[in-house]
Chains A and B, each alone.
Chain A
Amino acid sequence: MLSNLIQAVFLGGYYAMVACGLSFMFSVMRIINLAHGSLAILSAYLLYVLAQKFNINPFLGLLIVVPVMATLGWILQRYLLDRSAKGGELLPVLTTFGIAIVLDNLMFQRFGADTRSLAPYIGDLSWASYALPGGLFVGKLQILVLMTVIVVIGALQLFLKKTQLGRSIRATAMDPDTAGLVGIDAKRATAAATAIAMATVALAGAFLGMRATFEPYSGTPQLLAAFEATVIGGIGSLWGTLAGGIILAIAQTLGASVHPQGFLLGGHLAFLIVLFFRLHRNRDAILTWLRVRTA
């Protein structure tokens, strides 16, 4: 059981790695990026191509893929999401849904239905583990993922608090109109925020490919896990997302210990319970919001 719980914490770290970009984008632009999972898969494929065709180790490949994904994020926000946001709150979400469909099918066309993995390109890292006293084993890759997500979230927090661009992103997240009045270019701030979110997506895609297999339609389950972790942790809170990821993974592990098929169900239940309490606590606020909307 203890071993299971420890594995769950590490799995939670991976969920948080996938979720932190989603959470970040939502807190700044109020956009739920439904293409989040597919973009992670795209990063995994990019790393795969670099490794297979050019013999570039996936860790070195990240030096190329992270900037590529960040640039893609910038373009996405500037030329698609920003424009669709003019049509109301729902339109950007639909846009990301469309991007997900296009990406999934492009990847299917290019790479086919075969499952791929980055594991063969990283030596023994995908399966090597440390033996802990008490007969516990912890995978080296899992430790690397958890440490990376802690560093990424810590760095993001510092960046938001201490840097010029970070402050402009925070101000834009709080109130884009007022941000404009004090001289902040909201378009630039949101484009930068999306670029950063996509950089974290590149990392998430790399770890996904290293720890498991992926195929063109693997994005949706990733999105689902990320979304649940984000909601459980409290939307907009990055450390909360880490906690949310871990809670989700523990719930899944508990679910699996009840019934072999209970893994995903346990996670969904935890998500629904948290969602229910959140909605209940904010009932008045939500009702007022609905009334204002429908008035």
Chain B
Amino acid sequence: MAPTVLGAKQVSKRFGALAVLDRVDFHVQEGEAIGIVGPNGAGKTTLMNVLSGTLTPSDGHVELLGEDVTASSAADRCHRGLSKTHQIPLPFLGMTVFENIYVAASHGAALTGEAGYELTYESLKLCGMLAIANRKAETIGLLDRKRLELARALATRPKILLLDEIGGGLTDAETSELVETIRELRRRGISIVWIEHIVHVLLQVVERLICMDAGRIIADGEPIAVMKDKAVVEAYLGRTPE
């Protein structure tokens, strides 16, 4: 079996009395593509934030490439090879698209000057953003902002990429373009963890599906089997009367 590149061990996150994550165990193998589904408020985004280092877990450990990174900062995890895109795109608004990506290349991947420009160019090209590279980030639309999130994450040279609803709010045509890009990333050996509500989009890329509900993982496995799982159906549709 391929080695584990990212793992959550008994991770809990509480906000006051509210347990958003409840002893979650979660592992990603090298090169794997995992989809995460679940109703709103299931704790999907919180799990991603705990993994990426934006949130500190209340309990439990996060492991990245064989090392305990529970106490390390998001920046440190980024240098080790973990990157994430936001559900609601958050570009650096005062910078151009190019600068947005270059900042990631020069800090995340630590490539400056010529090498940094090349990586920036490559990331822009992969995400189809070359034509708007010199526009201010505040002037671009939603699809381009989502692409920017992806390109910026790529420019950090990630080994593991966390995608938080990157398809949300896009049309089918726009989504399928993004799916194509994400498939290409998989071919390059990047492990992917992808939260998405639109399951049929997820299924075009992932080979393993996880369903979360109320801060717990309630199903984990082959996508079709997970979607048919009784607990999953109940989480989405409520309990069927006997």
Give residues in A with beta carbon < 8 Å to B.
164, 167-168, 170-171, 174-175, 177-186
Contact = CB atoms under 8 A, between A and B. Distances in A.
Given A171-B95, A175-B92, A182 B152 contact: yes
Contacts of A178: 86, 90, 92
Contact of B107 (A174, A175, A177, A184): A184
29 contacts: A164-B106, A164-B112, A167-B95, A167-B102, A167-B106, A170-B95, A171-B92, A174-B93, A174-B95, A175-B90, A177-B54, A177-B90, A178-B92, A180-B73, A180-B78, A181-B74, A181-B75, A181-B84, A182-B83, A182-B104, A182-B107, A182-B153, A183-B75, A183-B78, A183-B104, A183-B108, A184-B75, A184-B107, A186-B75
A121 to B, nearest CB: 42
B108 A182 contact: yes
Interface string B8-45: 00000000000000000000000000000000000000
Interface string B130-152: 00000000000000000000001
Interface in B66-102: 73-75, 78-79, 83-84, 86, 90, 92-95, 99, 102
Contact of A183 (B79, B92, B102, B112): B79
A161 to B, nearest CB: 9
A170 B95 CA distance: 9
B109 interface: yes
Chain A CB count within 10 A is highest, among B53, B93, B107, B156, for B107
B37 to A, nearest CB: 23
Contacts of A177: 54, 74, 90
A49 B147 CA distance: 57
Contacts of A175: 90, 92
B165 to A, nearest CB: 16
Contact of B75 (A164, A170, A185): A185
A180 B92 CA distance: 12
Given A181-B78, A182-B104, A182-B156, A167 B99 contact: yes
Interface of B: 52-54, 73-75, 78-79, 83-84, 86, 90, 92-95, 99, 102-104, 106-110, 112, 152-153, 155-156
B55 to A, nearest CB: 10
B159 to A, nearest CB: 13
3 tightest CB-CB pairs across the interface, nearest first? A183-B108, A180-B74, A183-B78
Contacts of A179: 75, 92
Given A175-B90, A180-B53, A183-B79, 9 more contacts: A167-B99, A177-B74, A178-B86, A181-B83, A182-B107, A182-B153, A183-B108, A184-B103, A185-B73
Contacts of B156: 182-183
B88 to A, nearest CB: 11
A174 B94 contact: yes
A183 to B, nearest CB: 3
A124 B41 CA distance: 72
A184 B155 CA distance: 13
Given A170-B92, A170-B95, A182 B73 contact: no
Contacts of B106: 164, 167
A186 B54 CA distance: 12
Contacts of A164: 106-107, 112
A168 B107 contact: yes
A185 B106 CA distance: 12
A182 B78 contact: yes
A170 to B, nearest CB: 7
A170 B152 contact: no
B72 to A, nearest CB: 11
A181 B154 CA distance: 12
Nearest to A187: B73
A182 B104 CA distance: 5
Nearest to A185: B75
Contacts of A183: 75, 78-79, 104, 107-110, 156
A178 B89 CA distance: 10
B103 A167 contact: yes
Chain A CB count within 10 A is highest, among B52, B74, B83, for B74
